[in-house]
Amino acid sequence: MKTNRTISKAIRQIVSKRAGERCEYCQSPLDHSPDPFSVEHILPRAEGGKDTLDNLAYSCQGCNNAKHIAIRGLDPVTGQIEPLYHPRLQP
Ligand SMILES: [Zn+2]
């Protein structure tokens, strides 16, 4: 099945405005970043994530690169694998 991998400019604008033009992970403002921000999938497409607004987050390049397609990570305090921060479920 062919999937459309492009998120429209209109959807990007909605996600950006909803986030207040701040990264939804680290809260860095877009206007203090040398790089453009991305609209990323909280649940990656590879894990079944959709292009719906509730699954899209505005992200700086640093957070987007660090998260990549991960949805879980090692908690350095507990040593356990835990779900990563979810901007829609943990505002
Ligand atoms: Zn960030």
* Region at 79 (left for phi over 0; alpha for psi -120 to 50; beta for the rest): left
pLDDT per position as a tens digit, 3-19? 456 889 999 999 999 99
Tally of structural domains, the chain? 1
Which range marks the domain in which residue 45 is found?
Answer: 9-83
Instruction: Indicate the residue type of 79.
Output: G
Is residue 17 in a domain?
yes
CATH code of the domain covering residue 48: 1.10.30
Is residue 88 in a domain?
no
Ligand 1 centroid to residue 1 C-alpha, Å: 32
Tell me the whole-structure pTM to 2 decimals: 0.85
The number of beta carbons lying within 10 Å of the beta carbon of residue 11 is 15
pLDDT per position as a tens digit, 53-88? 999 999 999 999 998 888 899 999 999 999 999 999
Ligand 1 centroid to residue 4 C-alpha, Å: 26
Is residue 90 in a domain?
no
Ligand 1 centroid to residue 23 C-alpha, Å: 5
